Amino acid sequence: MPSVPKSGPKDVFMHLMAFVALYVSVVSLIALLFQCINFWYPDPLSFYYESALSGIRWSASALIVMYAVYVGVSWMIGKELSALPEKKNMKVRKWLTYLTLFAAALTVIIDIITLIYNYLGGDITMSFFLKILTVLFVAGLVFAYYIWDLQTTADRKKLKIFAWVVSLLVLAAVVTGFVLVGSPATQRARRFDQQRVNDLQSIQGQVVNYWSDKGSLPRSLSDLNSSISGFVTPPDPETKGNYEYFVKSTLNFELCANFNQASLNQAPVPSQAIYPNYAAENWTHSAGRACFDRTIDPERDKIYQPAPVK
């Protein structure tokens, strides 16, 4: 029986790096596929497009970097194993391989528990079943590869073909994520639009406060500027132009802005401003010039004012 070589610092480093990169890659791949499923089959009770797109960006970024690290380090380990086949029996390699199998099994168990919990909470959707299949499929690939790799009679050529197929699947997942998210230019345009909505929400709150204090709507947005509160009407973040404001009646006003893209979701967008009375206003917009008609409710929006001192 050939002697098993001892593990040196280089062997420990290389194998630890490979397996850590594998763990992060598997978690990122599952997260990426989950967010893609959420995007294709949105749950009206708990889905937000911006959150899903952010999750896709993070998962795809981690997957690209860590899977590249895993492939590169595995390639270097493979070269050493070809030169010294007895290194395949190193303890550090076997320990980490079995630890990987354990982590994969634990991941499957935890994910299935979570999915069953959501199922019992009413998540009986196509998204639910696709997520179960995703976890089982990804974990199954990890199990199949490393159990196969542990066998002394494993065909290295077939293992390489298997690894290439998995790499193509990972690439397909990343490309799908990029297609859903859009180009960096698209994302920047969307961020400008979100800032426009935030600005309009802030201006709206200041208009309501102005009406509550003075009993009338401001004639122009410049009337909202205050050296005491420090509020200055924000300009368009991209063009630096002014937002449009129109007084339509004693209680009715309109705010307008030019947007790069249409809203991703067609449901009311929760307000980011600090004015709770308008937390459920609809900020859905189309591409181009969009206006938001607002009517003040005197009973709801009147802020308590102390009686003047005589």
Helix (H) or strand (E) holding 118: helix 91-120
DSSP 230-294: ---PPPPTTT--PPEEEE-SSSEEEEEEEESS--S--SPPPP-SS-GGGTT------SEEEEEEE
pLDDT at 47: 60
Distance in angstroms (rounded) separating the CA atoms of residues 128 and 126 = 5
Please say whether the beta carbons of 114 and 128 come within 8 A.
no
Classify residue 15 by burial, with Cβ atoms within 10 Å: 0-12, 13-18, 19+. buried
Helix axes 9-40, 49-83, angle to 10 degrees: 150
Locate tokens 């979570």: which residue? 114
Please say whether the beta carbons of 28 and 117 come within 8 A.
no
pLDDT at 138: 86
Nearest to 66 by CA among 78, 77, 74: 74
**Averaged pLDDT, groups of 10, the chain, 310 residues long:** 61 80 88 87 67 84 91 82 70 78 77 77 75 84 77 67 85 87 82 91 91 88 86 91 92 93 58 40 85 85 48
pLDDT at 237: 92
pLDDT at 218: 92
pLDDT at 3: 57
pLDDT at 301: 62
What is the distance between the terminal CA atoms of the chain, rounded to a whole angstrom? 104
